[in-house]
Structure 1
Amino acid sequence: MFKVFAVSQQGASQPLAFQSTVFPGGEVQVSVELDAPAEALRLHAHLPDAQAVMTLLMLSDALRRAYPGRPLALHLPYVPYARQDRVANPGEALSAKVFCQLINAQGYSRVVIQDPHSDVVTALLDRVEVEDPLPALRRVLERVGPAALVAPDAGARKRVLKLARELGCEAVLADKVRDTQSGRISGTQVTGPLPALPLLVVDDICDGGRTFTELAKALRERQREQGLDAPLHLYVTHGIFSHGLEPLLAHYQQVFSRNNWTADTRCQLV
């Protein structure tokens, strides 16, 4: 969940030991190794829950006290609350802003993130750097071979079109269909004909996975209409997989991610 590195003047990194304790009342305490040769510090954090956020704050404070004046960089692949980037109803908190203000208050020398889901997050975070998504996607394509990239919904369309253009791939567009009475999602619609290629669905986050199972059904139906039978693959930057991989692997030949939140090794890390 956390890794800490001491960085030398030459740029070499070595792991820095630390201990974390949770008391019976739920309070978190950490202690870090002292006197390591460090010109700078680098902290890698995976924050799946609120306790992890508190541990990050404690760890950051402990490092600053143990190594005063050293720059401390944060590598935070998944930004919690990025999906809550607007107030939908009166009385709600603007959660993304609250979290980003908490990170900004730590004064990190830089904050390195991956696919933040929302441009609001990059606007709110100080000294933020977004990792280039292309190298990971290229690694996926090396494994699956030539494929068309699929945008699962309108929110992913701009990003997937840009990635497809930069990689020289064809792009397929899909969108969620909503019931006009209830506003609930009733299905998925694929726009236009499919190419005679394997299809790689690309998105930033997979949580429960229903978006992707419904999309797979729509893609298979369109393939049947066109007399095609190419494999489907799925790549997400952040694999939360809160319902497990089983529902996804029932539809997709392979599932790839940069960050697998589960212990299921059937998700291939890239």
Structure 2
Amino acid sequence: MQSISSPVVGFNPQVINLTNQTGCKITTFPDGEKHVTVDDLNRKIPVSIYCRITCADDLFCLMQVADVLKRQEMIIDHLFIGYMMSMRCDRLFDINRPFSLKLVADIINSVGALQVGIVEPHSTASLLKIKSSIGVMATMEYFYKEIIRPNENNLDIVAVLPDSGAISRYKPNGLPYIVCGKERDPETGKLLSFTVDAGETECKDKDLFVLDDLCDGGGTFVGLAPKLRELEPKSLSLLVTHAIQLEGIKKVAEAYDHVYITNSYKAWEDEPLPENVTVFKVFK
């Protein structure tokens, strides 16, 4: 997924990858401040930057790289963001709370990249706020490339969309699908109940695949699992791009036969995970 074409015709861009310190070195000062030193670069050749933005430190490191490149009057042809913090805060919830997405978007815009790729940006709000941005729909890419096309296990797949909002993003072409729903307490946000609308779609003895962009604590998916088991599927799997918490991964791994995640948020391939969890690599 890291393969990108340069918007600047005729050049193969130089690469700075903040996730593995390719083209740069990240150190930490005694007070905790992150400090980035960029390797020597050919100022005539554009640069592509790869990063995760999971916290303020990651955002500050990106700002430092952009500062170095802009002072050397270099072109940043592409900025690839594997995970972007605040993408779920995509509107102003309350007059006394910040519009976090806009704050992050303003900083990303200040980098001045010719093109910005955001992996599973959660909603169109991120793309509207960030200039020259495109969404990389990794969940569906991995679903087709790693699950459907090889189909080594002769799966008879029915896609499961966790809510109606997922239809526009994850409705599969040429495959049956069902839609679920959930109810939250409007005051606390606590999940109260789950529904499954299979309609006329046959799910018994099928391989159900729940598709979504993100798993945080895992509550939605754990709550849906018993409802989906009532349909008597042959297997029940979950595929998400962004996996945030280790405990959330462990919870869904107990509820599902197979769980597929990526290393967009963290290098989960280096962590001790349950045996039924597979990590696809956004970052190689």
Q: Same fold (TM over 0.5)?
A: yes
Residues in 1 aligned to 2:161 and 2:95: alpha-carbon distance in whole angstroms: 32
Counterpart in the other structure of 1:62 = 68
Residues in 2 aligned to 1:56 and 1:14: alpha-carbon distance in whole angstroms: 13
* Paired AA for residue 211 in structure 1: T
Residues in 1 aligned to 2:184 and 2:90: alpha-carbon distance in whole angstroms: 22
Counterpart in the other structure of 1:253 = 257
Residues in 1 aligned to 2:43 and 2:121: alpha-carbon distance in whole angstroms: 33
Deviation at 1:238, TM superposition (A): 1.1
| Equivalent position to 1:146, from 156, 176, 179 | 156
Residues in 1 aligned to 2:50 and 2:23: alpha-carbon distance in whole angstroms: 13
| Equivalent position to 1:86, from 82, 85, 91 | 91
| Equivalent position to 1:202, from 208, 211, 215 | 211
Distance 1:204 1:14, change over 3 A: closer
Contact map agreement 2:191 2:220 (CA 8 A) in 1: no
- Specify which structure has the bigger relative contact order, considering alpha-carbon pairs within 8 angstroms and separated by 6 or more residues: 2
The answer to whether 1:121 aligns with 2:132 is: no
Of stretches 230-239 and 243-252 in structure 1, the one that deviates more from structure 2 is 243-252
Give 5+ residue unaligned stretches, structure 1.
1-5
1:154-209 deviation line (CA, Å, top 9, x unaligned) = 33233222xx1x2x111111000345897632121111355231100000111111
1:53-94 deviation line (CA, Å, top 9, x unaligned) = 1111112212333x4233342100222101001122221111
| Equivalent position to 1:26, from 32, 35, 38 | 32
Distance 1:214 1:171, change over 3 A: same
Of stretches 116-125 and 172-181 in structure 1, the one that deviates more from structure 2 is 172-181
Counterpart in the other structure of 1:3 = none
Residues in 1 aligned to 2:216 and 2:243: alpha-carbon distance in whole angstroms: 7
* Paired AA for residue 184 in structure 1: K
Counterpart in the other structure of 1:11 = 12
| Equivalent position to 1:156, from 151, 157, 166 | 166
Distance 1:37 1:8, change over 3 A: farther
Contact map agreement 1:245 1:267 (CA 8 A) in 2: no
Deviation at 1:146, TM superposition (A): 3.4
* Paired AA for residue 147 in structure 2: V
Report the secondary structure of 2:82's partner residue: coil
Report the secondary structure of 1:78's partner residue: strand
| Equivalent position to 1:234, from 233, 238, 241 | 238
Counterpart in the other structure of 1:269 = 280
TM-score with structure 1 length normalisation? Answer: 0.84
Deviation at 1:104, TM superposition (A): 0.5
Distance 1:55 1:182, change over 3 A: closer
1:216-248 deviation line (CA, Å, top 9, x unaligned) = 111112x2xxxx341011111212234242211
Contact map agreement 2:81 2:119 (CA 8 A) in 1: yes
Deviation at 1:35, TM superposition (A): 3.9
Distance 1:80 1:181, change over 3 A: closer
Query: After TM superposition, what 4+ stretches of structure 1 lie above 6 angstroms from structure 2?
Result: 180-183
Deviation at 1:37, TM superposition (A): 7.4
Contact map agreement 1:76 1:114 (CA 8 A) in 2: yes
Q: What fraction of aligned residue pairs are identical, expressed as a percent? A: 25
TM-score with structure 2 length normalisation? Answer: 0.80
* Paired AA for residue 256 in structure 1: Y
Contact map agreement 1:79 1:116 (CA 8 A) in 2: yes
